Amino acid sequence: MNMPMLLPHPHQHFLKGLLRASFRCYHFIFHSSTHFGSGIPCAQPFNSLGLHCTKWMLLSNGLKRKLCVQTTLKDHTEGLSDKEQRFVDKLYSGLIQGQRACLAEAITLVESTHSRKKELAQVLLQKVLLYHREQEQSNRGKPLAFRVGLSGPPGAGKSTFIEYFGKMLTERGHKLSVLAVDPSSCTSGGSLLGDKTRMTELSRDMNAYIRPSPTRGNLGGVTRTTNEAILLCEGAGYDIILIETVGVGQSEFAVADMVDMFVLLLPPAGGDELQGIKRGIIEMADLVAVTKSDGDLIVPARRIQAEYVSALKLLRKRSQVWKPKVIRISARSGEGISEMWDKMKDFQNLMLASGELTAKRRKQQKVWMWNLIQESVLEYFRTHPTVREQIPLLEQKVLTGALSPGLAADFLLKAFKSGDY
């Protein structure tokens, strides 16, 4: 039996009585100002939403609570002024029409750390996400774009490869977006953002869009908002998204959690790559490409290719339908790049047919959510009034050696907990 009720100010004894009753299912809608006494959980207000939907189900093995927050687009836009609403609508309409200026402005908006601009960015992203879902449904549920992550050590020829590869794709009728992530200086906090200057031909191509972004100290080699930028690029009609990341190492493969295929580019004659490139990054690779395979470097490139073919055999399989490949390419002569694209298409088709690609994207959405939660919780912790007062004093004690880092962290966590009650 279902019993829908609108309860602006439900009484806790009334709710407790309902929970002891014999109904099978209760469905209540609470106003955002609803508060309960101890022992009765409540849906906390979600930003500026007006209503919350809380479903209680009485099962044979006990009570199960299912919380459903109604986050319609109307709820998101309620708190916007007319000027802000016009701004978001202008960006959205220009974006879905494929205007590069609107796409650039939209990515700038989602990269902003200003609190109000963050809220505007979420409204825009929600509109783009709804549009994106409609487009996917009209495409029989298939992804609209192919997301490819590129990584490799400095000097591997990533920018040169993207220039040649991108021109080849645009000539074949594709629309390409390149999200190039540059490392930010630990000293000055600045970033060179020089990738676009090395892709002179591609940057002038109207079917290509190149966006360099700083890491701002993110260890994973991608920015906080790379996922949002991918979504915006797909909304603007780009069907191939390349994400070029910083360096190679154990912590440099966060990009693997946001792309369909991860490609590792390696230079030949760079010493003992199997020793220098850590195992973690190789395990994430779906395709390994040995670059600069031309002229005097052909022999070293073949040797490196053979080494990696042997190394990949020892690693655990991550897919039931795809076995990682090792190929040789040359961006200068173009050798092997067309064949590389053929292998990338084979990967996409196999993963789509098996359902692994859909499952992978769903899992990535979950990872994305938790990454944002971790970042927000840390920011909330740092700006908490009780913690903010203690941080300078405890940092000074840690610097002078009067207090261990672990003990200082415990003190801050206790201050945080006590300040929340």
Over the stretch 257-272, which tens digit does the pLDDT of each residue have? 889 999 988 888 665 5
Range 65-82 average pLDDT: 56
What's the order of all strands across the beta sheet hosting 4-7? Answer: 4-7, 25-31, 51-59, 62-68
Instruction: Supply the pLDDT for residue 194.
Output: 55
CA gap 243, 220 in Å, rounded: 13
User: pLDDT of 109-146, one tens digit each?
Assistant: 988 888 889 889 999 999 999 999 899 888 888 888 99
- Residue 251: closest CA among 278, 286, 224: 278
Quote the pTM value.
Answer: 0.74
> What CATH superfamily classification does 143-354 receive?
P-loop containing nucleotide triphosphate hydrolases (3.40.50.300)
CA gap 42, 11 in Å, rounded: 12
The residue that leads in pLDDT, 420 or 164, is: 164
Instruction: Supply the pLDDT for residue 195.
Output: 59
**For all residues of the chain together, what is the average pLDDT?**
76
Instruction: Supply the pLDDT for residue 174.
Output: 95
Q: How many CB atoms lie within 10 A of CB 273?
A: 19
CA gap 394, 402 in Å, rounded: 9
Length of the chain measured in residues: 421
pLDDT surpasses 80 at 409: yes
Instruction: Supply the pLDDT for residue 376.
Output: 84
> Burial of 345 by CB count in 10 Å (0-12 exposed, 13-18 middle, 19+ buried)?
exposed
Instruction: Supply the pLDDT for residue 271.
Output: 54
Domain-by-domain residue ranges, the chain? 66-138, 143-354, 369-419
Q: How many CB atoms lie within 10 A of CB 17?
A: 10
Structure tokens at 158: 């990533």
Q: Estimate the crossing angle of helix 115-138 against helix 226-235, to 10 degrees.
A: 50
How many angstroms separate the Cα of 349 from the Cα of each of 127, 140, 169, 400?
29, 15, 17, 59
User: pLDDT of 302-333, one tens digit each?
Assistant: 888 888 888 888 777 888 899 999 999 998 88
The residue that leads in pLDDT, 203 or 287, is: 287
Is the CATH number of domain 66-138 1.20.5.170? yes
Instruction: Supply the pLDDT for residue 220.
Output: 46
Instruction: Supply the pLDDT for residue 6.
Output: 43
User: pLDDT of 208-249, one tens digit each?
Assistant: 999 887 665 554 445 567 888 999 999 999 999 998 876 655
How does residue 103 score in pLDDT terms, banded at 50, 70 and 90?
Answer: very high
Structure tokens at 256: 């693997």
Instruction: Supply the pLDDT for residue 374.
Output: 85
User: pLDDT of 241-299, one tens digit each?
Assistant: 998 876 655 445 677 788 999 998 888 866 555 554 556 677 788 999 999 888 888 88
**What percent of the chain has a predicted confidence (pLDDT) above 70?**
70
